Amino acid sequence: MALVEINALSFSYGRAPVLKDLSFSIEQDSTLGIVGESGSGKSTLIRVLCGLMPVQSGIARYDGRDISEWLDREPRGFRRRNQIVFQSPASSLDPRMRVGQSLAEPTKSLERRTPSDEELGQWLTVVGLGPEALQRYPHQLSGGQLQRVAIARALTVNPTMLYADEPTSALDVSIQAQVLNLLIEIRRRLGLTMVIVSHDLAVVGRVCEQVIVMRNGEIVESGPTASVLRYPEHEYTKSLVNAARAVSLGASHDAADAII
Amino acid sequence: MAARRSRSPQLIVGAALVALLVLAGLLSLVWTPYDPAALDVTNKMAPPWTDGHLLGTDQLGRDVVAQLMAGALNSLLVAVLSTAGAVVLGVALGLTAAGGGRFWSDTLTRATDVAIALPGILVALVLATFFGPSNTTAIVAIVVWFVPGAARIVIGPARQVLAREFVEAAMAYGRSRSFVLFRHVLPNLGPLIIVMASMMFAGAILTEAALSYLGLGAQRPTPSWGRLLFESQSVIGQAPSLVVFPGVCIMLAVLGFNLLGDGLRSRLDPRHAREVVV
Ligand SMILES: Nc1ncnc2c1ncn2[C@@H]1O[C@H](COP(=O)(O)OP(=O)(O)OP(=O)(O)O)[C@@H](O)[C@H]1O
Ligand SMILES: [Mg+2]
């Protein structure tokens, strides 16, 4: 049985439909990439899946149970299992809180206990930072370090699903690869199921086994990443792949091959 | 940046004036040169430097310095209470408006717009008619007058903080809307609220003076600057200093809190000091 099952899911902000009749599933321990142009509804989709937006119509199940039912009956259990990392490292931590305070928040909120500094320090080590960062304020850290802290914060409650909304696109190119490697490593070490939203096909190509291509709130193509990117069927996917090729061809041929 | 932090002339002058006001007010609790209410019938409207009356006496022979000091305490008392009330209520209202659903948020925003358009003196007059003139009336009038403005100042920045990703992250780990408002949004608005309170304090002192001048504030025997101004205007020909001194006090106090507010603003404002806020 799939960990997440979506059937005929639709969503709108007010009148405008943003997600239209989506159906797909996410297997346990897999990594799913969601690509698509700006405004296609990627962020909205994962917000619904991790319980930040309501399921308005259609079916969305997590572990065999409706997400709305999870949120009604066992909200903390659901949130503990489903965590999310956002795009902008600069705004993902409260500037008035030390890193240690921010890291302690999910445990305080969801497990009703205050985690020790050792415990939090260990999570920092997992994401490649030293425990001394606990005492820092966000403005004392770099973008890459902040994103590592945000990832650590999501991990502190031992989630089974980790959603990441454009986790690397606000970072310097040199840092992007490091954070991506970190996500790959964490996934392997902790056995997470991951969903990564990205407009960068290279990111999805490196990390994700499965991919969904979205446009205007609809899924235009989906399947194993390798075949979708190598043999795109839909015109829109072809144009995305060609655009990505063209960009990296400008850089070098090797890079173009590396993508796909 | 560093230069501005260490030496802002506004901040220094403002803080000095405020300190002087606070010292004079507090000192009046334990010591004044004469009893502010004591009449010296042989020395009515004495000019400054007469018989130990540093700034002279008023038309009943009461010592001017003593009355100004006691008036400072009264101004401070009214300003502290009304500013505190307006800040607490205004910030709570602003946070609720920013954090509530769209309907609640729009309704509150409209309501503050309407309330801001009401003339405050009118509010005070109505209140005084109902409850009689007193410091309490002045305080309530100032609070009612300032609350919508305070809410209005807070709503925009609160919405900005709410739009940041750490708020969504907090929701994702199960924090409630009100927890987010009070534990994340409020601390991030701290500097803004401090600056706002300082400016409001200046406004409260001026308003208290205006209300007591109109006879809506403190009544004798409690001395207040506005009352002093009112009582001495009839003898402005014989003793102009009786009008000048309370006027200067009001001006310096308002100037002091405004300068302090400006100085704090350039030190704490997000646009000037990004590391301090948001
Ligand atoms: N809070 C909101 N209220 C109203 N409309 C919204 C809101 N958030 C997003 N939208 C609209 O919904 C649509 C989908 O937005 P969404 O953020 O899900 O797209 P996206 O694929 O993540 O885009 P991007 O790549 O730019 O992040 C857009 O047209 C957007 O304008
Ligand atoms: Mg998005």
- For residue B7, pLDDT over 80 is answered with no
How many angstroms separate the alpha carbon of residue B44 from the centre of ligand 2?
A: 78
DSSP letter string, chain B: -HHHHH--HHHHHHHHHHHHHHHHHHHHHH--SS-TT---GGGTTPPTTBTTBTT-B-TT--BHHHHHHHHHHHHHHHHHHHHHHHHHHHHHHHHHHHHS-HHHHHHHHHHHHHHHHS-HHHHHHHHHHHH-SSHHHHHHHHHHHHHHHHHHHHHHHHHHHHTSHHHHHHHHTT--HHHHIIIIIHHHTHHHHHHHHHHHHHHHHHHHHHHHHTT-S--TTS--HHHHHHHHGGGTTT-THHHHHHHHHHHHHHHHHHHHHHHHHHHH-TTT-TTT--
Query: Chain A contact for B190, CB < 8 A?
Result: yes
Q: Give the pLDDT confidence of A9-18 residue by residue, as tens digits.
A: 999 998 889 9
Radius of gyration (Cα) for chain A, nearest Å? 18
Nearest CA owner, ligand 1 atom 16: A41
Higher pLDDT, B256 or B124: B256
Neighbours of ion ligand 2 (CB under 5 A): A 43
Ligand 1: which residue has its CA nearest to atom 2?
A13
**d(C-alpha A50, C-alpha A141), whole Å:** 28
| Sequence-separated (6 or more) residues with CB below 8 Å from residue B271 | none
Pairwise CA distance, residues A8 & B221, whole Å: 77
pLDDT exceeds 60 at position B188: yes
Compare CB distances from B187 to A96, A153, A157 and report the shortest one's residue: A96
Q: Does B176 touch chain A (CB under 8 A)?
A: no
* Cβ <8 Å between A82 and B275: no
CB A38 near ligand 1, within 6 Å: yes
Facing residue for A83 by CB, picked from B172, B175, B184 = B172
B278 pLDDT exceeds 80? Answer: no
Residue A10, judged by CB atoms within 10 A of its CB (0-12, 13-18, 19+), counts as middle
Q: Whose CA is nearest to atom 30 of ligand 1?
A: A39
Q: Which residues in chain A land under pLDDT 70?
A: 248-260
Sheet holding A16-26, edge to edge: A16-26, A4-13, A57-62, A65-66
Hey, is A64 helix, strand or coil? coil
* Distance to chain B for A93, nearest Cα, Å: 5
pLDDT given at position B274: 42
From chain B, the residues in CB contact with A86 under 8 A are 165, 168-169
pLDDT for the residue A167: 93
Average pLDDT over residues B170-189: 96
- Residue A41 Cβ inside 6 Å of ligand 1? The answer reads yes
Q: Would the pLDDT of B181 be above 90?
A: yes
Q: With an 8 Å Cβ cutoff, is B130 touching chain A?
A: no
Note whether B51 and B32 are within 8 A (CB). no
How confident is the model over B168-176, as a mean pLDDT? 96
For chains A and B, CB pairs below 8 A equal 58
- Over residues B28-81, the pLDDT tens digits come to 999 888 888 888 888 788 788 777 778 888 888 888 899 999 999 999 999 999
Q: How far is B5 from chain A (nearest CA, A)?
A: 18
Please report the atom of ligand 1 found closest to the CA of residue A40: 21
- Predicted pLDDT at B6: 57
Is there a contact between A223 and A237 (Cβ–Cβ < 8 Å)? no
Residue of chain A whose Cα is closest to the Cα of B168: A52
* Ligand 1 center from residue A39 Cα (angstroms): 5
Whole-number Å distance, alpha carbon A190 to ligand 2 midpoint, is 26
Judge residue B121's burial from the number of C-beta atoms within 10 Å of its C-beta, 0-12 exposed, 13-18 middle, 19 or more buried: middle
- For residue B176, the CA-to-ligand 2 centroid distance in Å is 23
Q: List alpha helices for A85-200, DSSP H.
A: 99-111, 117-126, 143-155, 173-190
Is residue A39 in contact with ligand 1, taking CB distance under 6 Å?
yes
pTM: 0.87
Copy the structure tokens of residue A30.
């897999």
E strands, chain A, in order: 4-13, 16-26, 31-36, 57-62, 65-66, 82-85, 161-165, 193-197, 210-215, 218-224
Return the closest-CA partner of residue A232 out of A20, A35, A38, A42. Answer: A35
**Mutation test of ligand 1: which of A34, A35, A42, A197 has the most ligand atoms closer than 8 Å to its C-beta?**
A42
pLDDT for the residue numbered B269: 61
The nearest CA of chain A is from the CA of B260 a distance in Å of 24
A199 lines ligand 1 (CB under 6 A): yes
Check residue B2 and give its pLDDT: 45
pLDDT of B270 > 80? The answer is no
Length of chain B: 278
**B257 CA: distance to closest CA in chain A (Å):** 27
Phi-psi region of A39 (alpha: psi -120 to 50; beta: other; left: phi over 0): left
Task: Tell whether B166 is within 8 A of chain A (Cβ).
Answer: yes
Taking the C-alpha atoms of residue B24 and residue B42, their distance in angstroms, rounded to an integer, is 27
Do the beta carbons of residue B144 and residue B123 sit within 8 Å? yes
Phi, psi of A106 (to 5 degrees): -60, -40
DSSP state of A157: T
User: Which residues of B fall within a CB distance of 8 Å from A75?
Assistant: 174
Q: What is the mean pLDDT of residues B183-210?
A: 93
Q: Determine the residue among B166, B168, B276 to mutate to test chain A binding: the one whose Cβ has the most chain A Cβ atoms within 10 Å.
A: B166
Residue range B222-261, pLDDT digits in tens = 889 999 999 988 888 888 888 999 999 999 999 999 999 9
Q: Enter the ipTM.
A: 0.91
The strand pairing partners of A193, in sequence order, are: A161
Confidence bin at B272 (pLDDT 50/70/90): very low
A18 pocket-lining for ligand 1 (C-beta < 6 Å): yes
Phi, psi angles (nearest 5°) of residue B252 = -65, -40
Q: Which atom of ligand 1 is nearest to the CA of A37?
A: 25
Residue of A nearest to B179 (CA): A109
Contact in structure between B102 and B193 (CB atoms under 8 Å):
no
